[in-house]
Amino acid sequence: MAVYTDVSDEELTAFLVEYPIGEGLSCKGIAEGIENSNYLLTTESGVYILTLYEKRVNPDDLPFFLGYMEHLASKGVSCPTPIKGRDGESLRKLCGRPAAIVSYLNGMWPRRITPGHCARLGEAMAEMHIAGQDFGSGRANDLSLEGWRPLFEATAEGADRFGAGLAGELATELDALEAGWPAHPDDLPTGVIHADLFPDNVFFRGDRLSGIIDFYFACEDFFAYDLAICLNAWCFEVDGSFNITKARRMLTAYRKVREFSGLEIEALPLLARGAAMRFLLTRLYDWQNKSADALVTPKDPLEYLAKLRFHRDVKGPGAYGLD
């Protein structure tokens, strides 16, 4: 269970006094999620999510994340809304950790992804990108191109334990990505992106997308890079094969809301390679730095090596179902 900080009844009661949401009735740890401690909180006024932000989250970034969620919610995007305390602030301390309460979203993330799920995701992602264009704050993506070389150097020595020659292959790939990556921000449309839109961060009720959660990697980057992350996360089957139907439905639904530029279409294979590299390197890092008492098992980095190789061999955007 990925709850790193236990909250006593006394601490919770004192914390909730700061909010106009009534007395706490129950507070249960949520097993899913690996970055923070999350609780399902029920009070006299309803159900909420209580999050304590752990060491991997930079406290200085939290006002950006919470402000972005509040901005999106005000534009009609279905996402958690930070709950403000009696003093008008949504961020405070609990058990020595930064903490916040956000609204609860109904729905479940899809365990078996269909092309219909991908279409709904594409539409919602485009709406989110448009809604965030007038959000005044910015945050650099510290896990984009500039962050990959340090991650590689931190993991290269042990990389070959996951496969002979892996470190050399990653070094060659990183050189190619650095040589070909679009110049930010002139080449491609940019704005605030989610940057972590994996299936467990997207809720559905039946065929309807009911909400997007976990904005704690949100940052400024290419809109098409958000799409590239989703191609990796949503469009590969469990046997490693790429489902072009899912990709086509996602991208077609997105461009009905926000049309791509020609440069975005051309850049998509390279951006998808970069997205695969990002998650491969962070997974390698997590494996090599896991502690003996870790509450969750790091995810398999080789899953993203196979995806990287697929995108490297793509001849053009037609491989993703685009004309």
CATH classification of the domain holding 256? 3.90.1200.10
Within-domain flag for 226: yes
> Is residue 142 located within the same domain as residue 35?
no
Averaged pLDDT, 194-219: 96
Say yes or no: 147 and 234 in one domain: yes
pLDDT given for residue 25 in this prediction: 97
Both 132 and 271 in one domain: the answer is yes
- Asked whether residue 223 carries a pLDDT value surpassing 50, the answer given is yes
Q: Is residue 3 part of a domain?
A: no
pTM (predicted TM-score)? 0.94
What is the maximum span of the chain, computed from C-alpha positions, in angstroms?
60
- Whether residue 1 is contained in a domain is answered as no
* Boundary of a domain, candidates 103, 134, 158: 103
Reported for 44-47, long-range contacts at CB under 8 A and 24+ positions apart, including other chains, are: 45/21, 46/21, 46/104, 47/104
| Domain finish residue from 81, 103, 125 | 103
- Total domains, the chain: 2
> Which domain, by its residues, includes 33?
9-103
Domain match, 142 and 91 both: no
Shared domain check, 282 and 162: yes
Residue 2 belongs to a domain = no
- Taking all residues of the chain, what is their mean pLDDT, rounded to a whole number? 94
Question: Residue 187 — pLDDT band, cuts 50, 70, 90?
Answer: confident
Looking at residue 102, the DSSP 8-state letter turns out to be E
Per-residue pLDDT tens digits for 251-272: 999 999 999 999 999 999 999 9
Q: Is 31 among the domain residues?
A: yes
Q: What is the dihedral of CA 179, 180, 186, 192, to 10 degrees?
A: -100
Residues 120 and 95 in one domain: no
Confidence of residue 1 (pLDDT cuts 50, 70, 90): very low
* Strand ranges in the chain using DSSP code E only, listed in sequence order: 24-29, 37-43, 46-52, 92-94, 97-103, 190-193, 202-205, 208-212, 219-222
- Same domain for 255 and 154: yes
Residue the block writes with tokens 């601490």: 11
- Are 89 and 201 in the same domain? no
On whether both 159 and 197 belong to a single domain, the answer is: yes
Note the pLDDT tens digit of each residue in 98-129.
Answer: 999 999 999 999 999 999 999 999 999 999 99
Domain end residue (candidates: 103, 125, 147): 103
Map tokens 């109904």 to a residue. 106
Residue 186 reports pLDDT greater than 80: no
CB 68 within 8 A of CB 32: no
The answer on pLDDT for 235 being more than 90 is yes
Q: Is residue 34 scored above 80 in pLDDT?
A: no
